[in-house]
Structure 1
Amino acid sequence: MSLSAEIRPFSVADFRARVARLGEHGTDEAGDHVIDPSLDRLHDKHLRDAAVLVPVVAREPEATVLLTVRTEHLPSHAGQIAFPGGKIDDDDHSALHAALREAEEEIGLSAAVIEPIGQLEPYVSNSGFRIVPVLSVVAPEFSLTINENEVADAFEVPLSFLMTASNHRRSSKRYKGLNRIFYEMPYGDRYIWGVTAGILRRIYERLYGDEA
């Protein structure tokens, strides 16, 4: 992939250009079962539709990605690092609408500072969700109001770190008697893994992978 010399790698302009070159959907499935072939592909009728916002902040000279830390008392994925997002409700008009609504509810990120620029094919999680990643650019002047019932913290990670393959580690652990395989992307004292790391890996594969 050749880029204009005027566009700095991992800048928001670079990110926009890569997303603009995407087709509407990828041809391959994405999900936990792709990363770990020992997992059974969940039948579509059992999946619940969800959406996450992938908020790429237009910092200069390099963009960042805004992530959240879920509170410890949540019934699922407690304490884990995640994108803003959640289930697509019956009154949501689309995956985009759900992602924007959840971002507002969870961290007070206003739709006024979010520019949606694309979507990836759904990512199927082993927990039973079909998750649409909504790619977006966020104006750097944003402010947050964190919903402490759902989110413990929010922080930014350089896009360059997340989109560098050497920072993507395949790891495994025993769970219910089985050896489960997943991606992890430790960043300082932040431990990014599981579905969030899987979606980030998919973004890398679709936008940056041909440069590996």
Structure 2
Amino acid sequence: MDAVTAKPFSAEDFKLRAARQSVFEPGTDYGDHRLNPDLRDMIVRPNLRDAAVLIPVVDHGGDANVLLTKRTEKMRSHSGQIAFPGGAIDPTDASPEDAAVRETLEEIGLGAADIDVVGRMPDYVTGSGYRIVPVFGIVRPDYLLTINRDEVDDAFEVPLSFLMDPANHRRESRVWQDKERFYYTMPFGERYIWGVTAGIIRTLYERLYA
């Protein structure tokens, strides 16, 4: 099956797009500074902490969904926010892909047997001091979750077609340190996707679907 015959927004189509995305250009970086160029030197800096997240695309046949989590309110950072499963890359992790799968297992009980890793995006740099590797994973639709309530309040699916529609990408702003700062949001029903997660989703759209 090729990109012509694969149904748009299916897991198979996503996998094909991931495989043929453009080569990572040396020196190209994505991150929170894309909408705020004056913050680049503050965000893209040495000694960033390495992390990895999984972008879990659930294979429902013709129409895939993306599995997201809601972090608990008691987390020290990004509490209560919508997020991809993931976290810091440990010295014992063989690769960012291994770290993303390990963290997914620890957070929501979804393990390597349920995930087919099919690639990654360029690193995404955050204002909170992380260099994140977004890892692509195709997930079996009959998965069972075991949610770690110390880290995650909930897990839910959002249609890939919704997230990859630029009409659903809102460019909003707030004043921070006396300057207007911009960011993306993607409200979905009662869910409010914003911050790093929305930034990674927007980058995914720009690289694979725009």
TM-score by length of 1: 0.93
Identify the residue that residue 33 of structure 2 maps to in structure 1.
33
Residue identity opposite 2:13 in structure 1: D
Mapped to 2, the partners of 1:80 and 1:184 lie a distance apart of 12
Partner residue, 2:111: 110
Aligned to 1:17: 16
Q: Quick check: 2:22–2:207 contact (8 Å CA) kept in 1?
A: no
Q: Aligned equivalents of 1:17 and 1:92: distance in 2?
A: 27
Aligned runs of 1:88-107 on 2, under 5 Å?
88-107=89-108
Give the CA RMSD over aligned residues.
1.4
Shift of the alpha carbon at 1:60? 2.5
Distance in 1 (CA, whole Å) between partners of 2:90 and 2:23 is: 23
1:106/1:159 CA distance change after superposition, 3 Å:
same
Mapped to 1, the partners of 2:45 and 2:144 lie a distance apart of 37
How many Å apart are 1:111 and its aligned residue? 0.9
Shift of 1:178: 2.9
Query: Which string of whole-angstrom CA distances, capped at 9 and with x for unpartnered residues, describes residues 91-128 of structure 1?
Result: 11110111011000000011101000001110000000
| Worse-superposed segment, 41-50 or 185-194 | 41-50
Residue type of the alignment partner of 1:37: P
Separation in structure 1 between the aligned mates of residue 44 and residue 29 of structure 2, nearest angstrom: 13
Shift of 1:196: 0.2
Gaps of 5+ in 1: none
What's the offset of the Cα at 1:24?
Answer: 4.5
Secondary structure of the equivalent of 2:24? Answer: coil
Post-superposition shift, 1:176? 3.6
* Matched length: 207
Q: Is the 8 A contact 1:26 1:120 kept in 2?
A: no
Is the counterpart of residue 204 in structure 1 residue 199 in structure 2?
no
- Give the Cα–Cα distance (whole angstroms) in 2 for the partners of residues 120 and 93 of structure 1: 18
Q: Is the 8 A contact 1:56 1:66 kept in 2?
A: yes
Structure 1 CA distance, aligned partners of 2:106 and 2:23? Answer: 28
Alignment match, 2:7: 8
Match of 1:77 in 2: 78
